[in-house]
Amino acid sequence: MPDYNRQATVYWWSVVMLGAVLLVVCLVMLAELGWSGWLQIAAALLLAMLAGLFPVRVPGSKNSFVVSEIFIFLLLLLQGPAAATLVASGEAAIGSYRTSKRWTSRIFSPAAGAITMASTAWIFEATLLALQSLGWTGAAPLLASSMLFAAMYFLVSAHLTSGVIRLKRSEPFFQGLAMVSVFRWVGMAYAGSAAVAALLFLTYQQSGASVLMVMVPLLCMLLVTLHFYFRQQESAAAVHEAHSEAVEREKLMLARESETAARHLRELQASERRFHAAFTHASIGMALLQFDGRILQANRALEALLGQPSGTLTQRLLLDFVVPEDLRDLVDQLGLTSDREFEGFTRELRCRHGEGHVVWASVHCSFFTEPGAEEPCLILQAQDISARRQAEAGLQHLAFHDGLTGLPNRRRFQDDLASAVARSRSPQGHPFALLFLDFDRFKLVNDSLGHGAGDELLIQVARRIHDHVRPGDTVARLGGDEFAIIARNVEHERHALVLAERVMHALRQPFQVAGAELTASASIGITFSAFGYETAEDMLRDADTAMYKAKASGKGRYAVFDASLHTAVSERLRLEGELRHAIEDGQLTVEYQPLFDLRDGRLDGFEALVRWRHPAGGTLAPSAFLPIAEETGQMLQVSDFVMHCACRQLRDWQRIDPSLAELSMSINVSADDLAHPSFVARVTRALVESGLRPQHLTLELTENILMSRIEGGLAALNQLRALGVKLAVDDFGTGYSSLSHLSKLPIDCLKIDRSFVHQLLRAPDDDAVVRAIIQLGGSLRKSVVAEGIESQAQMDQLRSMGCELGQGFHLSLPLSVQAASELLRHPRPGGNAALH
Ligand code: C2E
Ligand code: MG
Ligand code: MG
C-alpha cells in the first residue's frame, strides 16, 4: 500500500476485515439453502456481471450507469440479505477485477460491497417488517422500503468506496448530501434499479416464476438495446459533431483564404505601387531590360546619368550608350542571361553622356519578374561613379608619379624598366639604354637659395630632359636630384651617348629660378640592355655605378658602365662609411705646398691641402674622398678642420720666427662652405681662435663655384673681404666666368689652372691664355699665381710673361708640418734654388 497513509490503511483493513466477517456470516446463514436458492444466486451474479458489461450512457451527459443492482435487489427480495450480500460482494469483486489493476482495490471492493449490502439489506428488511406490522400491506410499503433502501445503499456505497481516497487526501470522511451532487446519477440508477426490482418482485408474487423467466431476458435485451442505441446515438452525434466541426473549419478556412487572398491582392497592389514609386524616384539609375539589352522602361535618374531627354530611353539599346572598349564584356554578360544558373552581374562601365563626355557607371543587372507579368525581364541599376573613378585615377597617378615634376616615380619606373628588360630578352629583342642622371651639387641650390628654388629648378630640369628625349622614351624622377631615362630601340651605343650629350647640353643652358640665373650640370651613367641583364635592379645598379664614375672623373660628364666599375663603387661605398670615423679619429691631416715669388724666389706663403691618412689605404688625396664628403654632407666638418689646423699652424710659425710675420696661408673653400649661412662666422672663428690676422688668410674658390653661387655667396665674400681676408679664384680659365662678372667680384688673386701651365711651350693657344690671364690680372690689379709648375722651362716662361707667384712640384711638393717647419727654419739664402 505505497500511497496509503495511516488512516487510509486502518480504514482499508477495517473494511476488508468487516467484509470478510460478513461474508462468512452470510455463508453460514445460507448453509441451509437449497439448490434452487443457489441457482438464483448464481443467476443473479451472472446477470449482474453481464449487466456490468453494458453500461447505459445517460443521454446528453458524460455519465453512464449499470443496472446490475436490479438483479441483486431482486435476489434480496427473493432470497434475503445474506444471498444479496454474497452476490453484491461477488459482483463488486468481478467489476473491480475488470476495472482496476490494484490489488488493494480488488480486495477492498468486494468487502465494501458486502458491507453496503449487508447493512442496508437488514435495515430494508426491518423497515418492511415494521411497515407491515403497522398494517400497511400491499405494494406500497415494499416500494417505499425499496426507495429508502436505494437511498441508503447509495449513501453507504458512495461513502465506503470513496472513503479510502478521502482519507488518503486527509479530507473529512462523511460528506453527507454533498455526495448526492457528485454521485447523483449513481443514486438515481440505484433508485431506478430498486424500483424495477420491487416491481419485478411484485409481478413474480402475483404471476409466478415464469414471468421472471420472460421479464428478466426482456429486461436484459432492453438494457443491451439501450446500451447499443445510446452508443450508436453517441457515435452518430460524434460523427455529426465531427462533420459540423469540419464544416465549420472549412467555412473558417474559406473565410480566412478569401481574406488572405484579398490581403494578398491589396499587398500586391501596394507593393506594385511602391515598386513603381521607388523605381521612378530612385536616386540611382534603373531600367527594365529585355534580354537583348533593349530598354523597356527607364527612370529619371538613368536618363540624367546618360544625359538623355525624359522618356527617350524606351526601346533604345543599352549597348548604344556604352563606349566601344567596354562593349564586348557587356555583350558577353547579356549573353549569359539565357543560362538557368544566371544570378546577375555587376560591372563598372564607361558610358557616353548625351553631352559627349564619358561617365563611369557601376551597373548591376539581375532577373526581375514584374508583378502581373508572365515573362521575366532584367532589371538594371546604374550608379554614377565618375567622381570615385577620377579620385582613384588621381590616387593612381599620385602613387606612380612624382608630385613635383609629374614624371613617373621610382615605383613606376621600376615596373617600366622590368618590362623593358623582359622585352629585351624576348626573341625579337628590343634593345634599350638606361641613363642615370644625378645633378652635381644640387644640394647647394637648396642650401643657398632655399627649397622653393630647388623645387623650381627640378621642375624646369624635368621639363627640359623630357623635351630632349624621343616620344617613346621614359623619363622618371627617382628621388631628390636623381633622374633616369629609358631610351628605347637603341641599336648602337652611340645613340645613347648622343642623347646623353644632348641632355647635358640642354641642362647647361642657364635656368631662371627665383629671379636668379642658375646653371646646372648633371653626371650621367649609361648602361645597355645588350649587356644581357636579367633584372631591372641589376641594370639600375650598373647605371648608378657608371654615374658615380662620371662624377668621380670630374662631374658634368657621362660614363658608360663597365665591369671594373663595380670594384670602384664598392670601394667608394666603403670609404663613405669610414670617412665619418676618420674625422673623429684624427685621421685627417694637412699638407702645406709653398707658394713662391717667382721674381726673387722668396717664400710667399703656403696652400693648405687636406690628406686622409687611411689606416689601410695609405695617404689618400682629396679627390679620393672630398666628393664623398660633399655627397654625404660632411664637407663642412672637413673644411673646419683644415681651416683651424692651417690658421693655427701659420700663427705658430709666425710666432716662432718674426721674419715670417708676413707669410700667408691659402685655404680651399668648397661650394658647400660658401652656400652655408654660417660661412663668415666659421672663418672668423678660425681667425679669432688661432690669432691669425685676416690679411694673412687667402680663401681659394674655384671659378665654377664662384660663378654658380655668385648670387648667394657674394654678400659673404664682401663681408670677409671687408675683414681683410683675401680671395683667390682657383683653377682659373677652366670655367665660364665672364670678364664683366670678374671685375665686379671682390677678389684679389687669380690662380691659373695647372692644365694651362702644363701645356706651356707645347700649345701656343694655351700660352696665349696664360699670357691673357696675367695681363688681365695686371689690368684688374689682381695678383696672379701659376699652379702646377713642373719644370724649369715652364717657370722661366711664366716669369718672362710677368707672373708674380707660382707653386708646383718643381718648386716644392706639398709638405708635412715637419717638412714645412724644416723649410722655414733653414731657408736657402735667396729663396728657392729652383728660382735661380
Ligand atoms: P687646388 O686647390 O688646385 O690645389 C692644387 C693641387 O695641385 C693639389 O692637389 C696639389 O697637390 C696639386 N699640385 C701642386 N703642384 C702640382 C704640380 O706641379 N703638378 C700637378 N700635377 N699637381 C700639382 P691636391 O692636393 O690633390 O688637391 C686637389 C684639389 O683638392 C685642390 O686643387 C683643391 O681644389 C682640393 N682641395 C685640397 N685640399 C682641400 C681642402 O682642404 N678643402 C677643399 N675645399 N678643397 C681642397
Ligand atoms: Mg687651391
Ligand atoms: Mg688649383
Which are the contacts of 111, defined by CB distance < 8 A and separation ≥ 6? 15, 16, 17, 18, 19, 20, 89
pLDDT of residue 378: 87
DSSP per-residue string spanning 732-791: ETSS---HHHHHHS---EEEE-HHHHHTTTT-HHHHHHHHHHHHHHHHTT-EEEE----S
Does position 179 have pLDDT exceeding 70, yes or no? no
Question: What's 448-465 look like in SS3?
Answer: HHCHHHHHHHHHHHHHHH
Whole-angstrom CA distances from 171 to 152, 176, 424, 779 are 22, 13, 112, 149
The β-bridge partners of 288 are 297, 379
The β-bridge partners of 522 are 439
Cα 770 to averaged position of ligand 3 atoms, centre (Å): 14
Please tell me the distance from the alpha carbon of residue 522 to that of residue 529, in angstroms, as a whole number.
Answer: 22
Cα 615 to averaged position of ligand 2 atoms, centre (Å): 26
Ligand 1 atom closest to Cα of residue 807: 15
pLDDT of residue 35: 87
DSSP 3-state of 736: coil
Residue nearest to atom 21 of ligand 1 (CA): 788
DSSP 3-state of 327: helix
Ligand 1 atom closest to Cα of residue 635: 44
Which ligand does the CA of 700 lie closest to?
2
Residue nearest to atom 19 of ligand 1 (CA): 788
Cα 661 to averaged position of ligand 2 atoms, centre (Å): 22
Prediction pTM value: 0.46
Residue nearest to atom 22 of ligand 1 (CA): 788
Cα 731 to averaged position of ligand 1 atoms, centre (Å): 10
Residue nearest to atom 30 of ligand 1 (CA): 622
Which ligand does the CA of 705 lie closest to?
1
Please tell me the distance from the alpha carbon of residue 6 to that of residue 106, in angstroms, as a whole number.
Answer: 20
pLDDT of residue 780: 84
Grid coordinates standing for 205?
Answer: 408474487
**Max mean pLDDT range (566-570, 753-757, 767-771):** 753-757
Instruction: For residue 491, count other CB atoms closer than 10 A to its CB.
Output: 8
Summarize the confidence of residues 778-792 as an average pLDDT: 93
pLDDT of residue 503: 93
Q: How confident is the model at residue 836 (pLDDT cuts 50, 70, 90)?
A: low
Residue nearest to atom 23 of ligand 1 (CA): 788
Cα 609 to averaged position of ligand 1 atoms, centre (Å): 6
Residue nearest to atom 25 of ligand 1 (CA): 609
Residue nearest to atom 11 of ligand 1 (CA): 814
DSSP label at residue 115: H
Among 611, 628, 668, 683, the mutation site with the greatest number of ligand 1 atoms within 8 A of its Cβ is 668
Cα 659 to averaged position of ligand 3 atoms, centre (Å): 28
Cα 727 to averaged position of ligand 3 atoms, centre (Å): 13
Grid coordinates standing for 131?
Answer: 411497515
Among 555, 583, 606, 609, the mutation site with the greatest number of ligand 1 atoms within 8 A of its Cβ is 609
Which are the contacts of 375, defined by CB distance < 8 A and separation ≥ 6? 369
Among 153-157, 221-225, 425-429, 450-454, which stretch is predicted with the lowest mean pLDDT?
221-225
Cα 448 to averaged position of ligand 1 atoms, centre (Å): 25
Ligand 1 atom closest to Cα of residue 642: 41
Ligand 1 atom closest to Cα of residue 731: 3
Does position 361 have pLDDT exceeding 60, yes or no? yes
Ligand 1 atom closest to Cα of residue 811: 18
Summarize the confidence of residues 810-827 as an average pLDDT: 93
Cβ(51)–Cβ(75) under 8 Å?
no
- Using alpha carbons, select from 192, 245, 152 the residue that is nearest to residue 58: 192
Which ligand does the CA of 807 lie closest to?
1
Q: What is the pLDDT of residues 399-451, one digit of tens each?
A: 788 889 999 999 899 999 999 999 998 888 889 999 999 988 787 777 777 88
Cα 731 to averaged position of ligand 3 atoms, centre (Å): 4
Among 755, 787, 807, 809, the mutation site with the greatest number of ligand 1 atoms within 8 A of its Cβ is 787
Cβ(647)–Cβ(690) under 8 Å?
yes
Residue nearest to atom 15 of ligand 1 (CA): 808
pLDDT of residue 717: 92
State the residue for C-alpha cell 683653377.
731
For 487, list phi and psi in degrees, rounded to 5. -95, 110
Q: How confident is the model at residue 375 (pLDDT cuts 50, 70, 90)?
A: confident
Packing angle, helices 139-168 and 6-29, rounded to 10 = 150
DSSP per-residue string spanning 658-678: GGGTT-EEEEE--HHHHHSTT
Burial of 358 (0-12, 13-18, 19+ CB in 10 A): middle
Cβ(166)–Cβ(173) under 8 Å?
yes
pLDDT of residue 66: 73
Cα 635 to averaged position of ligand 3 atoms, centre (Å): 18
Does position 612 have pLDDT exceeding 70, yes or no? yes
Does position 64 have pLDDT exceeding 70, yes or no? no
Cα 726 to averaged position of ligand 2 atoms, centre (Å): 13
In this prediction, what percent of the chain has a pLDDT beyond 70?
A: 92
Please tell me the distance from the alpha carbon of residue 161 to that of residue 178, in angstroms, as a whole number.
Answer: 15
Which ligand does the CA of 629 lie closest to?
1
Which amino acid is it at 596?
A: F
Cα 674 to averaged position of ligand 2 atoms, centre (Å): 15
pLDDT of residue 163: 80
Please tell me the distance from the alpha carbon of residue 141 to that of residue 139, in angstroms, as a whole number.
Answer: 6
DSSP per-residue string spanning 74-107: HHHHHH-HHHHHHHHHHHHHHHHHHH---HHHHH
Q: What is the pLDDT of residues 197-220, one digit of tens each?
A: 888 888 888 877 777 777 777 777
Which ligand does the CA of 751 lie closest to?
3
Which ligand does the CA of 626 lie closest to?
1
- Sign of the Cα torsion 655, 656, 657, 663 reads negative
CA atoms within 13 A on the CB side of 32: 2
Cα 437 to averaged position of ligand 2 atoms, centre (Å): 28
Cα 745 to averaged position of ligand 2 atoms, centre (Å): 18
Cα 700 to averaged position of ligand 2 atoms, centre (Å): 6
Which ligand does the CA of 591 lie closest to?
1
Which ligand does the CA of 674 lie closest to?
1
Packing angle, helices 184-207 and 209-281, rounded to 10 = 150
Residue nearest to atom 37 of ligand 1 (CA): 609
Which ligand does the CA of 608 lie closest to?
1
pLDDT of residue 664: 96
Residue nearest to atom 45 of ligand 1 (CA): 668
Does position 736 have pLDDT exceeding 60, yes or no? no
Packing angle, helices 635-656 and 565-584, rounded to 10 = 50
Report CA Rg, the chain: 67
Residue nearest to atom 7 of ligand 1 (CA): 788
For 437, list phi and psi in degrees, rounded to 5. -110, 135
Please tell me the distance from the alpha carbon of residue 122 to that of residue 120, in angstroms, as a whole number.
Answer: 5
pLDDT of residue 176: 66
Residue nearest to atom 8 of ligand 1 (CA): 609
State the residue for C-alpha cell 682629396.
622
Summarize the confidence of residues 792-809 as an average pLDDT: 94
Cα 698 to averaged position of ligand 3 atoms, centre (Å): 13
**Protein residues with CB under 6 Å of any ligand 1 atom:** 593, 608-610, 621-623, 626, 639, 642, 668-670, 700, 730-731, 754, 787-790, 807-809, 814
Instruction: Write down the mean pLDDT value for the chain.
Output: 86
Q: In 80-183, which residue ranges form alpha helices assigned H by DSSP? A: 81-99, 103-133, 139-168, 178-182
Q: What is the pLDDT of residues 267-302, one digit of tens each?
A: 878 877 887 888 888 888 999 988 888 999 899 999
